Structures are given as structure tokens and as C-alpha cells.
Amino acid sequence: MRELAKAFLAQGKKVRAAALMLNLIKTEPTPENLELLADIYMRQGLFDDAAVLYLRVVKMGLNEALDTRGNAAVS
């Protein structure tokens, strides 16, 4: 589904790409999927929505780094 969303985005079909990614992050909220949706939002001019997703990606990275050190997660 991610590749299909990328294809729609390449064709300029941003709304379709966003819809696919919204469905995908419900079951697979990976940093890569969140970042792609944030990129789509940026292209749509939805900067606040994109910022929220980019922040989630950063927090996921921080939590992963802290988990490997045995520290508490960032909320």
C-alpha cells in the first residue's frame, strides 16, 4: 500500500495518497509510514498536521534509543 501511495503522489494525486497512508498507519505506524504521510501533508500545505507526524517520528526514534540503553521512554 505504501508503494501505491508513492505512485499516487508521483502522479499528483495527493488526496488519494494521503487516504491510503492514513489507513496504513492505523495498522503499521512505522516511522517510515508516518514520515511519508507527513511529506504528503507538507505538499498539501497541511503544515501543522505534518509537524505532528514528524514529532511522532522523532519521539519514536528517541524511545528506541532510550530503550536500548534501558532508560525510560519519552511520552
Q: What is the pLDDT of residues 7-61, one digit of tens each?
A: 999 999 999 999 999 999 999 999 999 999 999 999 999 999 999 999 999 999 8
Backbone angle region of 12, left / alpha / beta, with phi > 0 → left and psi within -120 to 50 → alpha: left
Distance CA 19, CA 25 (A): 10
| pTM, two decimal places | 0.84
The answer for residues whose C-beta is within 8 angstroms of residue 61's C-beta and 6 or more apart is 31
Instruction: Give the chain's domains with CATH numbers.
Output: 2-69 (1.25.40.10)
3-state SS class at 25: helix
d(CA 69, CA 49): 31
